[in-house]
Amino acid sequence: MRGSQTITFALGVVGVCAVSLAARAQTASTLEPVQYPESYRHFVHVKSTVIGKDSPDFQRNGGIHHFYANDKAMEGYRTGLFPDGSVLVDDSLEAQESAGKTTEGARHRVAVMVKDHDRYSSTRGWGFEVFKGDSHEGSLPAEGRAACVRCHASGRDSVFSEYRP
Amino acid sequence: MRGSQTITFALGVVGVCAVSLAARAQTASTLEPVQYPESYRHFVHVKSTVIGKDSPDFQRNGGIHHFYANDKAMEGYRTGLFPDGSVLVDDSLEAQESAGKTTEGARHRVAVMVKDHDRYSSTRGWGFEVFKGDSHEGSLPAEGRAACVRCHASGRDSVFSEYRP
């Protein structure tokens, strides 16, 4: 649901409460889908993390994580406020270890955040999606999306990562 | 020493043997310096490797290695032949491990390869340099440069890495 539609709907009901209801409806299932970021491997490499077997996060999120940002998102890292059009990617890959060397294996998933205040007004301006393996079809259910929004709320403009110079 | 100077010198001596001598002289100490690749953090991220404490390479090369390529070098990954102007970077960082999670620490060094058949005709068209820590001043001695050339000779157009899609 686009922001202008939300506003029209809200004005037709009863002010602040209606806006709140519309926002909640948008959060649940009517958000416009986030597209696969086709060119993300040419984005700027922000930083990387390896979540190993000794980490409490391994079951949920183990492997190599490379974070990428498009040019608009790089502006967000500089200013603290990510402009519309910002795209952030967490490229999650299997960590293959052999003889003390860790290399990249198969892709677990591509997790994406897209800033668009018009499309995602109810979720702090951010749309979230997850593409499993090498699929370009989003797989994130509504409850998963809600969890993303809740967790990321504590970040700086909903973003946790910082650019490594 | 530029290629045209090398050729002029060679013609003044005795053909093939002189070319070989000129090449050897160029290899030792007279190669034009490779400049620090100021914009490499905005190059394409090619792949990453973590060399851990259990690796036989740890003492020499331990840590997180991120490889970056400029647009011309990306053409080299596609075709197998890196055109002049190609720049490849191995960004080597301390691997900091805590509670099973490995993150990036201080920079060990930035190792650079630049393709320029004119400038580096005696070393298969590639110039090599190493910048320690965050320094922008090259630190590679002539014997280190010769070792780079020898080792890389077994690569595809002197390059070992392959682009991870």
pLDDT digits (tens, 9 = 90+) for A44-76: 999 999 999 999 999 999 999 999 999 999 999
Q: Is the pLDDT of residue A10 over 90?
A: no
Single out the residue of B110, B123, B118 nearest to residue B29, CA to CA: B123
Question: Between β-strands B126-132 and B63-69, what pairing exists: parallel, antiparallel or unpaired?
Answer: unpaired
Q: Which residues contact A20 (CB under 8 A, 6 or more apart)?
A: none
Please state the separation of Cα B144 from the chain's center in Å: 11
Residue among B41, B42, B44, B48 with most chain A CBs within 10 A, to mutate: B48
With CB atoms and an 8 Å threshold, state whether B55 touches A101.
yes
Chain A CB contacts of B48 under 8 Å are: 48, 64, 66, 104
CA–CA distance, A86 with A161 (Å, rounded to integer): 14
What does the block give as tokens for B21? 């001598």
pLDDT at B38 > cutoff 80 = yes
* Candidates A44, A50, A165; nearest CB to B50: A50
Confidence tier at B85 by pLDDT (50, 70, 90): very high
Q: What is the pLDDT of residue B31?
A: 81
Geometric angle at alpha carbon B123, from B120 and B124, rounded to 5°: 90
For chain B, give the percent of residues with pLDDT over 90. 81
For residue A13, pLDDT beyond 80: no
Encoding tokens for residue B141?
A: 């001695």
In angstroms, the CA B147 to CA B143 distance is 6
Distance CA A98, CA B51 (A): 10
Secondary structure element (H or E) that encloses residue B9, with its range: helix B3-11
B63 in Cβ contact with B94 (< 8 Å): yes
Pairing of strands B44-51, B63-69: antiparallel
ipTM of the prediction:
0.83
Q: What local confidence, expressed as pLDDT, does residue A110 receive?
A: 98
Tell which wins on pLDDT, A141 or B5: A141
With cut-offs at 50, 70 and 90, classify the pLDDT of residue B2. Answer: very low
DSSP β-bridge partners for residue A35: none
Nearest-angstrom CA–CA distance, B49 and B63? 8
For tokens 């967490």, what's the residue?
Answer: A90
Residues of B numbered 41-80 whose beta carbons fall under 8 angstroms of chain A's beta carbons: which are they?
A: 41-42, 44-45, 47-58, 64, 66, 68
Angle at A28 between CA A144 and CA A147, to 5 degrees: 25
In this predicted structure, the answer to whether residue A28 has a pLDDT above a threshold of 50 is: no
Which whole number is the average pLDDT over B142-151?
95
Q: How many other CB atoms are there within 10 angstroms of residue B44's CB atom? A: 18
Return the pLDDT at B21: 39
C-alpha distance from residue A152 to each of A82, A157, B107 (Å): 14, 8, 29
B68 touches B163 (CB < 8 A): no
Q: What percent of chain A has pLDDT over 70?
A: 82
Contact: B41, A45; criterion CB under 8 Å: yes
pLDDT for B12 beyond 70: no
Average pLDDT over residues B71-75: 98
Share of chain A above pLDDT 90, in %: 81
- Taking 80 as the threshold, does the pLDDT of residue B17 lie above it? no
Looking at residue A30, what is its pLDDT?
Answer: 66
Average per-residue pLDDT in chain B?
Answer: 86
B64/A48 Cβ within 8 A: yes
A21 Cβ partners below 8 Å, 6+ apart?
A: A13
Could you tell me if A156 lies within 8 Å of chain B, comparing CB atoms?
no
Q: Does B139 touch chain A (CB under 8 A)?
A: no
pLDDT score recorded for residue A26: 52
Q: What is the pLDDT of residue A31?
A: 81
pTM of the model: 0.83
